Amino acid sequence: MKKTSTRLADGRELIYYDLRDDSVRDAVDRRPLERTVTTSEVRRDPLLGDSVAIASHRQGRTYHPPADECPLCPSQGGRLSEIPDSTYDVVVFENRFPSLAGDSGRCEVVCFTSDHNASFADLTEEQARLVLDAWTDRTSELSHLPSVEQIFCFENRGAEIGVTLGHPHGQIYAYPFTTPRTALMLRQVAAHKDATGGDNLFDAVLERELADERVVLEGEHWVAFVPYAAHWPYEVHLYPKRRVPDLLGLDEAARTEFPKVYLELLKRFDRIFGEGEPPTPYIAAWHQAPFGQLEEFDGVNRDDFALHLELFTIRRTSGKLKFLAGSESGMNVFINDVPPERAAERLREVASS
């Protein structure tokens, strides 16, 4: 992997990740851009104890542009985009309309490929490995920012999810706090550790799932399963078999196997609802241990956390979506229409040949 860092016309950082060591990235951003001005502010809810990002400048962000005006495609001729070069393998750059900025964190865009009409599932194993390397590198770099406590790499895919740019891409949020979902996990880990005299909850969950009927696919170093209490109609958790706290902890064997396992999982997601159906909308979310202090979680340290990816779709059946209505949105109590055992069975049925 070759990494080349440059700056866009408004001062934002852009980084090329190339498969070839002889790639030259010297194109200049020729757009007449002014410096980006953001109004991002993090406010803490005194009743729930969680944080909300207030970012009014995002109202003006790019919204469903035509394909020939996509800002994530390479610059070609007189059409200038966020990527100055005429081609690329993987690109990461600071979001022009960030939810978090300055002392409130940082937001980045990750372009998986220059092919506008592709998806992550269309990548080769070599390309998917490059994306993994880019996620890992950004996790390392962002963890050193003084305002950053937790790093979240994720992909939103599909208009039903709320994606406003059709180009295959993901994002990285660097939060100035430990996110509520991670805090819940850490509290459960602490409680389990205390109740069992030191056992790890993630290890116990993984051992249970490996022995159950909800395993979807398994490699030497990774396992994918539908969790016992899945929140979403089709939800798969992907774990490395050796517990590590973050992407930085993966060894070479796990990194090498990951593309094959993950690409197969994504292809199965696109087959869930049968031939002729539009691509399955999904969210793919990496869960990593926070880099901040964990004193509030009694007896828990970073190594007690287990890196994993959660992949889920909001489509519950052909042509129907799972909406977060009263119980989910009002009380955070999910109601799942698809039994996890049936979801796992379906994802095994649609294995690629």
Supply the residues annotated as catalytic.
Answer: 169
Residue type for position 50: D
CA dist 31 and 9 (Å) reads 6
CA dist 236 and 214 (Å) reads 9
- The answer to whether the beta carbons of residues 162 and 175 sit under 8 Å apart is no
Rg (CA), the chain: 20
Own/partner long-range contacts of 45-50 (Cβ < 8 Å, ≥24 apart): 48/180, 49/180, 50/180
Q: Give, to the nearest 10 degrees, the angle between helix 201-210 and helix 180-196.
A: 90
Residue 172 CB-density burial (10 A; 0-12 exposed, 13-18 middle, 19+ buried): buried
In DSSP notation, 150-183 reads EEEEEEEESGGGT-S--SSEEEEEEESS--HHHH
Q: Which residues contact 122 (CB under 8 A, 6 or more apart)?
A: 113, 115, 168
What is the residue whose two structure tokens read 């729930």? Answer: 48
